[in-house]
Amino acid sequence: MLRALLDRFWVLLGVITLVFFLTALVPGDPVDVMLGERATGADREALRASLGLDKSIVERWSSYVINVMQGDLGNSLLKQRPVTDLIQERLPATFQLAILSFAIVVAIAIPLGSYAARKHQQLGDHAATVFALLGQSIPNFWLGPMLVLLFSIYFAWLPISGNETWQHIILPAVTLGFSMTAIAVRMLRSSLLEILHQDWMRTARAKGGAESQVFWRHAVPNAMIPVLTLLSLQLGALLSGAVITEVVFSWPGIGSLLIDAIQQRDYPLIQGIVLVIAVLYIVINLVTDVLLGWIDPRIETQS
């Protein structure tokens, strides 16, 4: 466990460094955004000095790393508020969207993947495979508007954007979870097909148990080990993949906040959001390793 934590510390330091330098290379000057192109040179230099942009990039990096390690992500250049406050205001909405999307993934992928494996090379298996291929082929930025046209404009069943009621989250959650569901269905189906032909499965059947009992008691729990790893990564991807979906549906999460920050060249806010997403990935991955080690003690928590 100590080694795993140490490895993730270096990963986090690498993420901090990479995000800082990539953000510094983004074209445009935040001073121009804040003051406009007609500002005097003296005003520009004064603002640049107050923001610390007059220092070398190495000095700014070292100062940023020290501040992050102390829990200080800095202040937004445009909003003049702590980055942590801005993220805390938007993070609950992103969590709501990601959790519901993840629930949709689990609720559909497990029964559909299991059904496809049991009906191998039959009509149900082919239908599930087509669904999985479509889910992986259709991008969120296309699926979202299509769902809006169908369910919001044509049928007028669901609202287009916002988060005022529970109905507002349905379309973005389905959009975000659709491709993830397809990936999980294919993974579970492949894992089950491999397990169903193992010798120990034949032994379980030979003991006289019903086929459905053998399937759900022995095959599915063992097939869920790689699927659980996939789902944990998918949960992290739901948080980062929510960027496009939140913009399409005007969902007030950190995804839409990130797009606004990029457009406004708000470097501290960009860095803070990307860093939070990376930390969530690391935490989810660590929890998954611990959980897999608990399910199967043969798996060591090393990475």
Task: Determine the Cα–Cα distance for residues 225 and 292; give it in Å rounded to an integer.
Answer: 7
Torsion-angle region of 14 (φ positive above 0: left; ψ -120 to 50: alpha; else: beta): alpha
pLDDT tens, residue by residue, 100-127: 988 888 899 888 988 888 888 888 888 8
pLDDT of residue 209: 65
Burial of 207 (C-beta count, 10 Å sphere; 0-12/13-18/19+): exposed
Q: Which residue has the tokens 């990475």?
A: 303
- Least confident span in 175-189, 191-205, 242-256: 191-205
Average pLDDT over residues 32-46: 69
Please report which confidence band the pLDDT of residue 302 belongs to, taking 50, 70 and 90 as the band edges.
very low
Q: Which residues pair with 201 in a beta bridge?
A: none
How many CB atoms sit inside 10 A of residue 293's CB?
15
- The residue that leads in pLDDT, 39 or 16, is 16
Helix (H, G, I), strand (E, B) or coil at 53: coil
Q: List the one residue out of 19, 21, 33 whose CA is nearest residue 266.
A: 33
- Least confident span in 11-25, 86-100, 195-209, 289-303: 289-303
Task: Determine the Cα–Cα distance for residues 258 and 86; give it in Å rounded to an integer.
Answer: 11
- Report the range out of 29-38, 229-238, 246-255, 294-303 with the highest average pLDDT: 246-255
Task: Give the DSSP letter of residue 52.
Answer: T
Please report which confidence band the pLDDT of residue 301 belongs to, taking 50, 70 and 90 as the band edges.
very low
DSSP class per residue in 148-184:
IIIIIIIS--S-SS--SSGGGGHHHHHHHHHHHHHHH
Sign for the CA dihedral angle at 104, 107, 113, 116 comes to negative
Tokens (6 digits) for 1: 């466990």
Please report which confidence band the pLDDT of residue 37 belongs to, taking 50, 70 and 90 as the band edges.
low
- The residue that leads in pLDDT, 228 or 299, is 228
